[in-house]
Amino acid sequence: MVEAVAVEVVAAVAEDDGNVTGVVTVETTKHTFTVDASYNRPANTVGIGILVQATDRPRKRGRILSQHSEAYRGVSASCMEEFAIFRAIEIASELGCQFVKVRSDCNSVRTRLKKDHKEDRGRKSANLHGSILRLAKQFTEVKFTYVPRRKNHIAHKLARKAAREMTPQANPLLVSHDLEA
C-alpha cells in the first residue's frame, strides 16, 4: 500500500494596500521513482525494478513507499530501460502523483527524454519514447534524472529478481524502439 506524504506550502494573500487578508495552504507531494531493467537471455525475459519514494523535503528522495518487480516477455533488450521508465510513469499516474522524478542509470535514454520533454517535442511519435512523453505531460512536474549504478542497487536487485524468478507477462505494448524519434 502506498501512502501519501504531504508538504504544506503557506502563502499570505495580500490586497493592493498591502494588508494580509488570508492564508492559502497548498499540499504537494514529491515522488521519486528509481528504475532499472535486467535481461535474462536464456528465458528471453526482461525484468524491471521500480523503487517508489516520497518526501516533503527539497532535494531528498524520502522514505520508501513501495517496490515493484515485474517480468515481461516481448520487450526488446535495446529498449528495456525505457520500458522501465514507462512503467514508472504509468504507476505515478495510477497513484495520482503530480510532482514526479524518474531516476535511471541509462544516461542516453534519460538525456533524450529530458531534452524532448523540455522542448515539448516527440510526443506524437508512435513508439515507446512518444508514449512516455505523452504520459509525462499530464503531471504538474516531471524530471528525468541520472542515478549512478552504484546508487541504484535496490532497483537493480528488484529487476534481476524479476528477470530470473518471476513468470513473465505478455508485453502490454507492441514495443517498437525508434532511435530517430
DSSP string, 5-56: --EEEEEEEE-TTS-EEEEEEEEE-EEEEEEEEEEETTTTEEEEEEEEEEES
User: Within a 10 A sphere around the Cβ of 65, how many other Cβ atoms?
Assistant: 17
**Maximum average pLDDT range among 74-78, 161-165, 175-179:** 161-165
Q: List pLDDT tens digits, range 115-163.
A: 999 998 888 888 899 999 999 999 999 999 999 999 999 999 999 999 9
Give the largest CA-CA distance in the chain.
73
**Percentage of residues in the chain with pLDDT exceeding 90?**
63
pLDDT exceeds cutoff 50 at 180? no
* pLDDT, the chain, mean: 83
Please tell me the predicted confidence (pLDDT) of residue 181: 38
Task: Return the C-alpha cell found at 73.
Answer: 516477455
Topology (CATH) of 7-170: Nucleotidyltransferase; domain 5 (3.30.420)
pTM for the model stands at: 0.79
Query: What are the phi and psi torsion angles at 82 (to 5°)?
Result: -65, -35
Pick from 5-14, 46-55, 113-122: least confident: 5-14
Between 73 and 1, the more confident residue is: 73
Give the start-to-end residue ranges of the domains of the chain. 7-170
